Amino acid sequence: IPLSRTTRCTCIKISDRPVNPRSLEKLEVIPASQSCPRVEIIATMKKNEEKRCLNPESKTIKNLLKAISKNRSRRSQTQKEA
């Protein structure tokens, strides 16, 4: 039982700042639920494990998901330029 989310949303403020895919430790997508009526996207950064909430409708998140999946299949070749 996720105690932290039984009562309300996890995100307080939502950032529209772009996130560098290379600095990203992980991305969590939490669907809308009874405890929070909106999708929440939480980016955890490598540095200090800093967490940042992203706007699910922003281009930032679309580009980020694209970058992550691209990086996956071509990682060994493009790691230097990426």
User: Site residues (CB under 8 A) for a second copy?
Assistant: 2, 21, 24-32, 37-39, 49, 56-57, 65, 68-69, 71-73, 75-76
Q: Which residue, 50, 51, 55, is CA-closest to 40?
A: 55
How far apart CA 48 and CA 54 sit, in angstroms, is 18
Is the Cβ of residue 53 or residue 65 nearer to a second copy in the bound state? 65
In this structure, are residues 30 and 15 in contact, taking their beta carbons and an 8 Å threshold?
A: no
**In whole angstroms, how close is the CB of 65 to a second copy at the nearest point?**
7
**In whole angstroms, how close is the CB of 53 to a second copy at the nearest point?**
14
**In whole angstroms, how close is the CB of 41 to a second copy at the nearest point?**
9
How far apart CA 32 and CA 15 sit, in angstroms, is 18
